[in-house]
Structure 1
């Protein structure tokens, strides 16, 4: 049984690798680091540690089945199979970025450098990867479901979010749109809208709530200070810095998105309107005047294997 297992090992470039790509050679990258006051040895230690761990994980996986190694930048082009067991070695962001390209395949997330990264989404270490894999193969693994958000535009664009969606301007200008919430609607001008999943609810959403509380002097009626469950059957939207004027309002600045109530937005931005997920601005969808955006709970969930 184990020889037929299919593994996909997801890895990322180290800071050192990215610098060498930027400057073409290690000597040029080292020169840059030294003259910028950075600790060259820290870059080297991080790189060496990561490569060693990746090598040991690869060896452990090859003993139990077939293996493909996929670098983060290639995730959007890789064709995953339904029977794949996905192993992610990296920081929390790599786990979130991987989940959106899967359709229920279990993810074993490994912290390759516990002294450097806390890793809230990284319950495993390299030394217990074989036990984790065996638990998945034998159907004995404990897993946790992760609810996704989904954004769809009227011109056919679609995007999933594991942590959160941002809807707003590409640059530091105001976003203008009409927000539809149930039977109500409101033209708004703001710094954009955040839609948070349970997994992302302890991140960006918290900074928005903290800022709003600091300005207004009171907390929102709904207490989300501790976030909400990863597998919750709802999302929350929050408007960043809504601006009141003769033509724009600030009444519909926060709400719970459910299967029965989605969020709909009509762009009033002539250009530079975007939607991106999980902080990946380079993969943004366009959201300009004439486009309608619908935000809802995605019809699939992620599956994280827990320790």
Structure 2
């Protein structure tokens, strides 16, 4: 089987590569780590194993199609073709990073280091790569739809989130804003608002529920503690550390966002307000005074290949 379609293998830098960038040379990186009592061998071994896996997969897939290796930092400027075959080789979080730059193209998640990465979103091993790509081209493989959150502002800005959105302050300060949903609204002061998708519901969302349960001394929101389906037609918002006062209130601190009921946040902060998605703070929208953010389900859906 051969195809004119392009296979894009998305990777992120290994920890060794990041250390080399920081300290200019591997020798300096090794000296710094060993000076602090940290072994350099683990970083070197992880890099060598990952590179060997990448080279092996690439050498096999090039017999089937054109192959391009794309490092994560180039995602925002890369133009994916509609028929590209996307192979993510890396941590689970890389799948979410890639998905919001696609438009429904299916993602094949491959776990290059099963002893290091959980692989919740990486159902395949390196030796599965050729067979899975072949089945995808032939249309004989199952995929799963993934709901994506979307924020649009009155300034024309737009941001997608595969796992979650954070709306709040840049640093450990309080955010001031007006929250409105379902015909109800209130002024709030908190450490920020988290909006979670089904795919993100076993991450940050789960930790929010766990913290609330610990404080309350009993389970809260039973049934949601294990998350909700990736393709759910709703999102959940959670307000972190809401502060009650004679001006700010705490009635609308947790709830569901649906296709027919968006969440609207209006910033009351002079500066340092941000909106970012999936933990990528560098790719953020400013959320300062006068900015109105409308948050709901995106019409764009993610698509992952399942085992």
TM-score band (shorter)? over 0.9
Q: Equivalents in 2 of 1:124, 1:4: separation in Å?
A: 24
Q: Equivalents in 1 of 2:255, 2:265: separation in Å?
A: 14
Q: Equivalents in 2 of 1:111, 1:223: separation in Å?
A: 29
TM-score normalised by the chain length of structure 2: 0.98
The alignment's C-alpha RMSD in Å is: 1.0
Contact 1:2–1:137 (CA under 8 A) maintained in structure 2: no
2:237 maps to 1:237: yes
Q: Equivalents in 1 of 2:123, 2:11: separation in Å?
A: 16
Residue 227 of structure 2 corresponds to 227
TM-score normalised by the chain length of structure 1: 0.98
Cα shift at 1:41: 0.8
Residue 9 of structure 1 corresponds to 9
Q: Equivalents in 2 of 1:248, 1:223: separation in Å?
A: 30
Runs in 1 of length 4+ with deviation above 6 angstroms? none
**Within 5 Å, which residues of 2 pair with 1:120-269?**
120-221=120-221, 223-269=223-269
Contact 1:5–1:64 (CA under 8 A) maintained in structure 2: no
2:270 maps to 1:297: no
- In structure 2, stretches of 5+ residues that fail to align are none
Cα shift at 1:213: 2.2
Q: Equivalents in 2 of 1:191, 1:204: separation in Å?
A: 14
Question: Once structures 1 and 2 are overlaid, which stretch shifts more, 161-170 or 219-228?
Answer: 219-228
How many pairs does the alignment contain?
307
Question: Once structures 1 and 2 are overlaid, which stretch shifts more, 210-219 or 222-231?
Answer: 210-219
Contact 1:123–1:306 (CA under 8 A) maintained in structure 2: yes
Cα shift at 1:222: 5.7
Residue 70 of structure 1 corresponds to 70
Q: Equivalents in 1 of 2:221, 2:89: separation in Å?
A: 39
- In structure 1, stretches of 5+ residues that fail to align are none
Cα shift at 1:209: 1.4
2:283 maps to 1:283: yes
